[in-house]
Amino acid sequence: MCGFCGFLAESESRTPVGLEAVARRMADTIAHRGPDGDGVWADEAAGIALGHRRLAIVDLSPLGRQPMLSADGRWVIAYNGEIYNFQDLRAELEAAGHGFRGHSDTEVLVEACAAWGVERTVKRLVGIFAFALWDRRDRTLYLVRDHLGVKPLYWARMNGTLLFGSQPKALRAHPAFRADIDRDALAAYMRFSYVPAPHTIHKGVFKLEPGSILTVRPGRDPERTVYWDMGEAARGGIADRLSLSDEDATDALETLLKDAIGRQMMADVPLGAFLSGGIDSSTVVALMQAQSDRPVRTFTIGFGEGDYDEAAHARAVAAHLGTEHTELRVDAAHALDAIPRLPEFYDEPFADSSQIPTLLVSEMTRRSVTVALSGDGGDELFAGYNRYFWGPAVWRRIGRLPAGLRRGAAGLVRSVPPQGWDALFGLVPQSRRPRQPGDKLHKLAGVLGAADEDALYRRLVSQWDEPDSLVLGGREPRGRLWDDGVAAAMPDFVERMQYLDSVTYLPDDILAKVDRASMGVSLEARVPLLDHRVVEHAWRVPLSQKIRDGKGKWLLRQVLYRHVPRELIERPKSGFAVPIDSWLRGPLRAWAEDLLDERRLRSDGYFDPAPIRACWAEHLAGTRNNQHRLWSVLMFQAWKQRWGTASTAAPLAASAA
């Protein structure tokens, strides 16, 4: 796992500074992604330069160094990721007469592209990857991102130069970078707490979407083609359902997961796994341990606040499986110390507050291993999110009610503050009590006015429901969540939510969060549940084998129960969260007040201060928990304070001249 960057400049836009020098300075901004080595390659005549930072995982020798040329000298690659079936591809290439110098998956990737072509090769890859491939003969650049979007890839065309890299900060280091904040993208960010692809916070800078190849040919605009599509996988799976008994379905899924997890245990460096004690991570660890001749190293963190502490569950699972378990107890001060560092790691506004524990567990894990497997993706594939249950249930009950009656019910729910509902739910047995019931009921009140199922879903995944009125001069772009064709293709509401989560929330929030946190501390995070073969299989599994008896992930649970007693797993679902709500009223209050100062907001000119100040006042008074909405504003303000709109290139160019 690594980081890469580069640029392709038209002749009239070439920088007076040498191409290699600029590429090296771009790569230096993402040194955290690859502390084990660096490299640059440039062709002054063609105006192309590639930079690379290496985190050595497979083939630690210099033969794995990048950028790497193909044996015939035609192709040059800079690559971030892991190809888990590279040994199979290598054997096939060797059988066809191709020789290899080293043992890295990078060499197999570049030689496969040379032998089979780019699109044919990427369709055969099993792995997580993003790469830039330069064809020296045809002077064509290919930018490629993996099926699910596990690995990031940003690109832009500015002042006659095409820029690209693993993170926006690499693009910023090029002298051509001049991007203002995109107010439309900011509006989208305020709804979701992340900027949805293909947009970024900067005008003219884009995320390459998952499953895509961006081809840049001389004298032409970049052309994006799709080699794998989640929509096609979903529609194909729904049209070709598996018809297996429960036992056979469990066997089939376990066999596939064992293969995916076994392949991802490949590494020439120490390897472990994140373990929360939940279904997804426990399944991954259980199947790792089943294929290992030594105890798997597992890692978790625990918080002092009882409602947020999952460490005891992880500890119990680890003890049963016999893993070598490490647990870090985190107090509020430890977590609060991480908050000022967040804009440095997340160099685009990002406001999923679970970024804090994700960063902390990554830091702890990196002290012991270089690779960690995680359980991300299980909720989207096997219907684990709470909204998949109570969203349809709510709509069945309210969909036919007059809008006025629904608004009245919403007002009644809101008349009791979240703490009041929490106290009432204190009478419910803990095993059946949802976490933070007051917050959930207030969120329910927010969806009672939805016009249809899709509007209800948008409310469920929104922080600010009307971001255009909040962002001055912003008009939110309408993406997949407003596409009427999705409902026609996927009439089942639960499956539609699964699909929409898989193409928005999963790559742009969950995977971005894990990538920045793990790579920020030079840790490779692998996601075996998101092997695209598992994804395609999951879409063929009938919904009746995903949701049963009011619980999601039924089939995944059956695999897990073959290895871990169900009593260690059965409990209400909880996220990887921290108590931002109370911190904002306590130790974070002064920090937040400074960023939310009305004069500051007005002077910056991005937000209407009135709704933000009202939101802040409600939260401080305890009449409503506005932690998520406020965190979105705070993370943008903190990001802008760190990065603003200025390029980092000017001093770099000057120092190189």
Are 333 and 306 in contact, with CB atoms under 8 Å apart? no
Residues ≥6 apart with Cβ < 8 Å to 366: 521, 522, 523
What integer pLDDT is reported at residue 646 of this predicted model?
Answer: 46
The number of CA neighbours under 13 Å toward the Cβ of 83 is 25
Name the least confident of 83-92, 174-183, 399-408.
Answer: 399-408
User: Terminal CA-to-CA distance of the chain, rounded, Å?
Assistant: 32
* Marked catalytic residue, from 2, 5, 113, 615: 2
**Residue from 395, 489, 380, 384 nearest 447 by CA:** 395
Written as six digits, the tokens of 26 are: 């771009």
Indicate if the pLDDT at residue 62 is higher than 80: yes
Are 286 and 563 in contact, with CB atoms under 8 Å apart? yes
CA distance 352 to 85: 33
Please report whether residue 324 resides in a domain. no
pLDDT band at 425 (very low <50, low <70, confident <90, very high): confident
CATH of the domain at 94: 3.60.20.10
CA distance 172 to 344: 13
Residues ≥6 apart with Cβ < 8 Å to 245: none
Please report whether residue 476 resides in a domain. no
What integer pLDDT is reported at residue 652 of this predicted model?
Answer: 34
**Residue from 473, 475, 467 nearest 611 by CA:** 467
Are 192 and 348 in contact, with CB atoms under 8 Å apart? no
Q: What's the average model confidence in pLDDT over 633-654? A: 69
Q: What's the average model confidence in pLDDT over 324-337? A: 86
Task: For residue 399, give the DSSP letter.
Answer: T
CA distance 169 to 181: 14
**Residue from 468, 164, 509 nearest 346 by CA:** 509
What integer pLDDT is reported at residue 576 of this predicted model?
Answer: 62
CA distance 465 to 459: 7
Written as six digits, the tokens of 543 are: 């919904």
Please report whether residue 95 resides in a domain. yes
Residue 2 annotated to the active site: yes
Three-class secondary structure of residue 7 per DSSP: strand
What is the pTM assigned to this prediction? 0.92
CA distance 475 to 191: 12
What integer pLDDT is reported at residue 648 of this predicted model?
Answer: 42
Domain count, the chain: 1
Indicate if the pLDDT at residue 588 is higher than 70: yes
Please report whether residue 54 resides in a domain. yes
Q: What's the average model confidence in pLDDT over 276-289? A: 96
- pLDDT above 90 covers a percentage of the chain that reads 77
Please report whether residue 143 resides in a domain. yes
What would the pLDDT profile of 293-323 be if each residue is shown by its tens digit?
Answer: 999 999 998 876 555 567 889 999 999 999 9
Written as six digits, the tokens of 186 are: 């900011």
Averaged confidence pLDDT in the chain? 91
Indicate if the pLDDT at residue 502 is higher than 80: yes
Are 236 and 539 in contact, with CB atoms under 8 Å apart? yes
Written as six digits, the tokens of 15 are: 């920088």
Q: What's the average model confidence in pLDDT over 509-513? A: 98
**Residue from 119, 136, 182 nearest 156 by CA:** 182
Q: What's the average model confidence in pLDDT over 76-96? A: 97
CA distance 94 to 617: 67
Written as six digits, the tokens of 100 are: 């290899």
Written as six digits, the tokens of 111 are: 């030689």
Are 260 and 287 in contact, with CB atoms under 8 Å apart? no
Please report whether residue 115 resides in a domain. yes
Q: What's the average model confidence in pLDDT over 476-502? A: 95
What integer pLDDT is reported at residue 63 of this predicted model?
Answer: 87
Name the least confident of 180-184, 437-441, 493-497.
Answer: 437-441
Q: What's the average model confidence in pLDDT over 274-290? A: 96
What would the pLDDT profile of 104-156 be if each residue is shown by its tens digit?
Answer: 999 999 999 999 999 999 999 999 999 999 999 999 999 999 999 999 999 99
SS3 percent helix, strand, coil of the chain, rounded to 5, is 50, 15, 35
Please report whether residue 9 resides in a domain. yes
What integer pLDDT is reported at residue 59 of this predicted model?
Answer: 80
pLDDT band at 645 (very low <50, low <70, confident <90, very high): low
Written as six digits, the tokens of 319 are: 């003890």
Indicate if the pLDDT at residue 196 is higher than 50: yes
What would the pLDDT profile of 204-260 be if each residue is shown by its tens digit?
Answer: 999 999 999 999 999 899 999 999 999 999 999 999 999 999 999 999 999 999 999
pLDDT band at 17 (very low <50, low <70, confident <90, very high): low
Domain range enclosing 165: 2-178
Q: What's the average model confidence in pLDDT over 89-116? A: 96
pLDDT band at 429 (very low <50, low <70, confident <90, very high): confident
Indicate if the pLDDT at residue 518 is higher than 50: yes
Three-class secondary structure of residue 373 per DSSP: strand
Please report whether residue 593 resides in a domain. no
Are 2 and 58 in contact, with CB atoms under 8 Å apart? no
CA distance 239 to 233: 10
